[in-house]
Structure 1
């Protein structure tokens, strides 16, 4: 679904690689763990420490990889489109290998990973189907795919794209697409996945303490996390 009809900001928009390449220096100062890490913490289906090998799709600066390490995952590879983000992830040291590439076409071997994870990337894909097909191809039989992202309701209600502020104070948007919950489920089921868990997080007291201006969004869904299973 096109974001333009919901846009209330009118920021200049750039593509994903350009945007994240510019945002990298302040990314972790502005992206709150409440958006994704806190939602991953609430998932019950994945047994993180039992993972044999994980792939972090859209690994960014390595935040998710570091979280996986803290939860006992000992083998983690990462893929990201943006060289500057990969450099930050490399410096962090949470991944075993890092690959510059497209998360929808990684060229990695079939059935390699028993856990795939993606955080805060789905709104940058115009079509979800290639992501779910690629994750399914890469997953071992019995493997899981955990994805967490902005809730479509929040994007529509706030009219706010993914964006960052440059050193000279300009707010710049990164190309954003709205995907409904049903879009995720439909794309995943079509690729062969089975839905194993779905959680939605709302703007609560913790969020409002971080972003007081979000008080008007209290109890609105803000994030969604999905866990899909590849049957043996």
Structure 2
């Protein structure tokens, strides 16, 4: 069953979204840089920093996607190729990747999981329309000021009946932890990358407006595995940390 918005017009939802700003929750105060600058600097330590529990383990728990049946996937915000490599291990036949940061693309290219890599904005990928059985985006949405362009581009790329799978930080986690996406620079300084808070309702509104049908949603919480990885997160135990959405394009 699709969600029903009772009394919330698109204009009203836009007003509510504009009131939720990461700055209202930021407890770190790290210097902040734009996405391309930040990931260009983070690239060397990125794969040693990001935990599988944040994204690919959440993808693995989704029931709707039949990964081995996917002939061709578009990986929007492919980064160093972690998601693309995971998809290939699940039996996905071919994966095209798009990312804004050339340094990240260079690592992905060396990894060899993607058939094609494009340096572009994920909302204007330049990839062919209606050419993909799966469109996927991982750990990207918190960097987008608006979700609509991503959902619309994914819809353009997807074949009728295809899926769009998005996994990212749960908005509640961003607010409760007060922590932006960040990395440690070569000089040992903590640097934040532009972070936005998108409520679950923002995702539902953007997805439905683009024409998608919600097929599945999964929310992951801070559990024993997370506490073992991040002992300081004990205060966040049982709080949502990641969210995954599986959308289907009408046939």
TM above 0.5, yes or no, is yes
Structure-2 separation of matches of 1:38 and 1:114: 21
Structure 1 residue 59, shift from structure 2 partner: 0.3
Structure 1 residue 168, shift from structure 2 partner: 1.4
Q: Counterpart in 2 of 1:185?
A: 204
What are the Cα deviations for residues 136-190 of structure 1, in whole angstroms up to 9, with x where unaligned? 0110000000000000000000000000001211000000000001100110000
Structure-2 separation of matches of 1:62 and 1:71: 14
Structure-2 separation of matches of 1:84 and 1:168: 19
Structure 1 residue 114, shift from structure 2 partner: 1.0
Q: Counterpart in 1 of 2:7?
A: none
2:238 equivalent among 219, 222, 225: 219
Query: 1:106-145 counterparts in 2 under 5 A?
Result: 106-145=125-164
Question: Normalising to structure 2: TM-score of the pair?
Answer: 0.92
What are the Cα deviations for residues 3-55 of structure 1, in whole angstroms up to 9, with x where unaligned? 10100000000000000000000001110000001100100100000001100
Structure-2 separation of matches of 1:18 and 1:218: 32
Structure-1 separation of matches of 2:245 and 2:21: 22
Q: Counterpart in 1 of 2:45?
A: 26
What are the Cα deviations for residues 60-117 of structure 1, in whole angstroms up to 9, with x where unaligned? 0000001001100011000000000000000100000000000001122210111000
Are 1:35 and 2:54 an aligned pair? Answer: yes
Structure-2 separation of matches of 1:123 and 1:145: 17
Structure-2 separation of matches of 1:160 and 1:215: 15
Question: Normalising to structure 1: TM-score of the pair?
Answer: 0.99
User: Number of aligned pairs?
Assistant: 232
Query: 1:87-106 counterparts in 2 under 5 A?
Result: 87-106=106-125
Displacement over 6 Å in runs of 4+:
none
Structure 1 residue 201, shift from structure 2 partner: 0.2
Q: Counterpart in 2 of 1:79?
A: 98
